[in-house]
Structure 1
């Protein structure tokens, strides 16, 4: 049996909204049509995907499994369409994604010099989409910061770098040569606590239950604005703190935090010669950079 990708898209919309009406609006289709498509999918799979009553819609165990498998499948289909569309237009393009603070200029120049007819595009990512851009085809390779979900990816280590605490310029710890995680126990961390488990384990606000409601940040710039305003501190890789230099924040190395690991990633199933060549170029340049630090 072949699974209809359109029905899968309908299913994912309902699974994410857990409401047929909202999902129908999101998909720009009538709700009865959506309900019929979901029933048809359940018939094809011979499994109930949702439990519905007058008050709620919930995923069954089969629905949870399908949602886990459907997202990467749909992302792969999107990636395939993008690559085929590029080939159909007769263009030769290669997109490099990169996280804030990471410089890819040298590797991009070398790849462009070796392939004059290749258009190399650049795409800035965030913690939230640094691997998503690979799965959905927006990027061919992505320079990532661990940790990430490695499923479906080839990951090649490049280098490691220290992490620093970014503080308001007038903070009591600003200007110190270094600090330890314990020195930050009284602070409000603007990172997700799971991203800095060493802080999470000693944090006073988590132990006492006084932590304010957390919010997600769409960019490093937004996070630094909150640091400068005295609303908390952030832990970032050293290169990120150096790239976003500003007078109203200070950076202090944190001695007992493990370094951040920077890697190059791409979709495992791809066998592009240009991907492997770029990986070699970047690894060589990264290695040379480490040796000169």
Structure 2
């Protein structure tokens, strides 16, 4: 966050399962004098947090209400089904939504996949959180479909997961307020988009740099030689062509005519 009497800093919020460590490392390498603060938020509160100024930017899951926000899609995650290790699904490399049609599939209240309800049979009650749903899967109550990063985040030794087709996927995006694209924000956008440190996109050269570039440009088509040297060569060339005088400055004695 920045202000007239505040040292430059950048606050990045992120939702569970998203790992910003690579981008944070690059930021610290390029801007060691500008601290980057990480703030974890829930998927439900992520958009409101950055819209209300609680963070400069946020890594969140799509879809969202984009009112007043920019959003750059970064990548799409594979959806997986979390099952006990002794479940029949654990023997397959990949399954479809039809393969779990006869199983109870949990639908936590904080679910971020874009569907009305998961495939399979609904549970009697919806768990409050994904973490609670994971506990129920371990207890043999049902299965759970989540983005792969959340399955890894809530990993347990007695559970496993498999990719599942026929279900929504989760898109991850970088979002920030429409009217607050600051220089620091442009810098972070460049990092997540893979721009190099020498990229000038979105930046204008400093006035001093612009003057230096302008002063190096020749006024005519070719490079202007240093003063004095060109005149000397030109004059010397004219004397050589016109008089045929030797290069040296001394003249020899005239020959006597016989």
Q: Please, what TM-score do these two structures have when normalized by structure 1?
A: 0.59
Unmatched 5+ residue regions in structure 1?
1-82, 206-210, 286-293
Tell me the CA shift for residue 168 of structure 1. Answer: 2.4
Tell me which protein shows more helix as a share of its residues: 1
Q: How does 1:19-38 map to 2 (within 5 A)?
A: none
Larger Rg: 2
Q: How does 1:118-157 map to 2 (within 5 A)?
A: 118-157=34-73
- Which residue number corresponds to residue 45 of structure 1? none
Unmatched 5+ residue regions in structure 2?
196-258
Change (3 A) 1:213 1:199: closer
Q: How does 1:69-88 map to 2 (within 5 A)?
A: 87=3
- Which residue number corresponds to residue 244 of structure 2? none
Choose the corresponding residue for 1:103, options 19, 26, 30. 19
Tell me the CA shift for residue 247 of structure 1. Answer: 0.8
| SS of equivalent residue, structure 2 residue 124 | coil
Choose the corresponding residue for 1:184, options 94, 97, 100. 100
Matched residue pairs, number?
Answer: 193
1:136-159 deviations in Å (ceiling 9; x for gaps):
222111111112211111000111
Which consecutive aligned stretches of 4+ in structure 1 deviate over 3 angstroms post-superposition? Answer: 86-89, 191-196, 202-205, 220-223
Tell me the CA shift for residue 98 of structure 1. Answer: 1.5
The answer as to whether partners of 1:165 and 1:235 remain within 8 angstroms in 2 is yes
Change (3 A) 1:259 1:195: closer
Q: How does 1:106-117 map to 2 (within 5 A)?
A: 106-117=22-33
CA–CA distance in structure 2, aligned partners of residues 196 and 152 of structure 1: 21
Are residues 1:197 and 2:112 paired?
no
